[in-house]
Structure 1
Amino acid sequence: MELVLKNISPKDYTLIFDLAHRLGIQVEEKPDHASIIEDLREAVEEIKMAEAGKSKLQNARDLINEL
């Protein structure tokens, strides 16, 4: 079951999030822009390390098998 909340005030979101947590309902939050940028920055660093021979990247088939 999926529930999508649109145009909800931050105060109401906090209330709903707390209630879901108390009821044991898993809530996935959308990542904010800062966390997306940080994830991209980390990915670029991993690629740079692999290009320098300091680490090995995972191929796409192994990544899909993990999922």
Structure 2
Amino acid sequence: MELLLKNVDPKDFALLRNLSKRLGIQIEKQKESVDDKPDNATVAEDLREAIAEIKLAQAGKIKLQNARDFINEL
């Protein structure tokens, strides 16, 4: 049987690791994947920042980057 735990506090993970050793259960810690989806708070904050930049550009206070330059950065 496999069990996957996500976003476990390091202190709790240490407790789980000690318990698994006592019970003779094998435990494997995997690196976090880079492809994880961002949480809703991060997406909402990114959208707020983008809207603020658009408003500044419409007011003429900043100049936005064109699509070609943006793609070249990627």
The TM tier, using the shorter chain, reads 0.5 to 0.7
Name the TM-score, length of structure 1 as normaliser. 0.62
Q: Deviations over 1:18-56 (max 9, x none)?
A: 8344xxxx6223101111111011000000001111111
Structure 2: gaps of 5 or more residues: 14-28
Q: Which runs of 4+ in 1 moved over 6 A?
A: none
Structure having greater relative contact order (Cα 8 Å, sep ≥ 6): 1
Identity level (%): 54
TM-score by length of 2: 0.57
RMSD across aligned positions (CA)? 2.4
In structure 1, runs of 5+ residues without a counterpart are 1-7
Which has the larger helix fraction?
1
Structure label with greater radius of gyration? 2
